[in-house]
Amino acid sequence: MDLVAYSARLDAQRTIIAELFTPLTDAEARWKPATDDWSALEVINHLADEEADDFRTRLRLTLEDANAAWPPIDPNGWAIERAYNQRDPAQSLRRFLTERDRSLVWLRTLDGATIDWDVAHQHLAGEIRAGDLLASWAAHDLLHIRQLIELRWKRFAQIAAPYDTRYAGEW
């Protein structure tokens, strides 16, 4: 596993996420296509919490002691309990960027050549190796980049009315 390449990917995806979120107005950041969907603001706050409380923490624990208990996470519950959609958009983005920067600094302290990427934590979902965590971290970003793009598409199609965006192609 190429730690330098994964760190570079996480850094690049940090920029993409910020670029997708930055131009949104307050109303656009809070907008949801449906009641049970997440807004872009909820996505950003989720990413910040996942950065601090999930991927970085769980990878560190697995590398230090694969048998160490992982702290519990509740992404859907946190969105409600932590009132993600009521938070300030600019502060939320800064928080995500700060947490990602902390992660990148920490990852750069590791010597990827000496890490046993196959060391595994026994989780309810089964065995999760350190390499699985790092790969999933980068993949998780991509899922939410796709989600942010989909939110922007749906919002744009809504505000374009009465004009139709079908000529652009199918979503």
Quote the CA–CA distance of 111 and 114 in Å, as a whole number: 6
Do 43 and 144 form a contact (C-beta atoms < 8 A)? yes
**147 near 44, Cβ under 8 Å?**
no
Residue 54 reports pLDDT greater than 90: yes
Confidence of residue 96 (pLDDT cuts 50, 70, 90): very high
pLDDT at 11 > cutoff 90:
yes
Average pLDDT over residues 11-29: 97
- Mean residue pLDDT across the chain: 96
The confidence band for 98, taking pLDDT boundaries of 50, 70 and 90, is very high
Q: What is the CATH number of the domain that holds 75?
A: 1.20.120.450
> 134 lies in which domain range?
3-168
Phi, psi at 65, each rounded to 5°: -160, 100
Average pLDDT over residues 17-39: 96
- Dmax over Cα atoms in the chain, in whole Å? 59
Q: What domain count does the chain have?
A: 1
Question: Is residue 153 pLDDT above 80, yes or no?
Answer: yes
Label residue 9 by pLDDT band (50, 70, 90).
very high
pLDDT at 170 over 80: no
| pTM for this entry | 0.94
